[in-house]
């Protein structure tokens, strides 16, 4: 259970708290990936703070839609029955994953200075792999989320689990820049 201070923040300012925590956890995921890349020798020992800034911007961009998406699911698909949870998971896979993948790859590429066409091309090349891993990883995670996690903590739960996901996304975003 979260301390009273955090419960109060989540109940009074859920969008703000989820947005800030989302950006922070995107940074943590990319930080870990940069350390892995450094350890593997694919780039220097210096931390790329500009890259961290770009990923923070994407975290700020993605977190509000995450918040409203889960709020929508809770309103329109209430309860914890197998049928309702299955619908939520299916909608998460069919709507959220593609939408948030677009919001990850294209803005990051644009912030790197790539053209719109090159940004879209990068997304088209990398999305099939991201979507495959998403189907393996997220349904079990979301089953736990929709069954056990109270609605106002769902984005925090997803964002926390997303640290590992963000390590993977950061790898997918940057792996070809070191070949």
Cα separation of 24 and 15, whole Å? 14
Alpha carbon 96 to chain centroid, angstroms:
10
Residues (pLDDT < 70) of the chain are: 1-3, 5-11, 178-179
Query: pLDDT tens for residues 14-60?
Result: 888 888 988 998 999 999 999 999 998 877 778 999 999 999 999 99
Half-sphere exposure of 58 (CA within 13 A, CB side): 30
Distances (CA, A) of 98 to 20, 90, 134, 150: 22, 12, 10, 25
Cα separation of 151 and 92, whole Å? 15
- Given 3-state DSSP classes, what are the helix, strand and coil percentages for the chain, each rounded to the nearest 5? 85, 0, 15
DSSP assignment letter at 177:
G
Instruction: Please give the model's pTM, rounded to 2 decimal places.
Output: 0.85
């Amino acid at each position: 259970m979260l301390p009273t201070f955090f419960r109060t923040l989540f109940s009074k300012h859920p969008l703000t708290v989820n947005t800030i925590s989302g950006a922070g956890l995107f940074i943590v995921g990319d930080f870990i990936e940069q350390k892995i890349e450094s350890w593997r020798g694919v780039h220097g020992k210096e931390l790329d703070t500009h890259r961290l800034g770009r990923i923070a911007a994407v975290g700020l961009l993605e977190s509000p839609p995450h918040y409203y998406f889960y709020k929508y699911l809770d309103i329109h698909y209430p309860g914890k029955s197998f049928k309702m949870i299955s619908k939520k998971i299916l909608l998460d896979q069919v709507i959220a994953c593609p939408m948030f993948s677009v919001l990850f790859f294209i803005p990051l590429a644009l912030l790197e200075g790539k053209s719109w066409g090159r940004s879209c091309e990068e997304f088209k090349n990398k999305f099939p792999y991201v979507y495959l891993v998403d189907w393996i990883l997220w349904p079990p995670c979301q089953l736990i989320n929709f069954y056990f996690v109270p609605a106002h903590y769902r984005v925090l739960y997803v964002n926390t689990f997303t640290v590992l996901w963000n390590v993977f996304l950061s790898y997918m975003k940057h792996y070809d820049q070191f070949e």
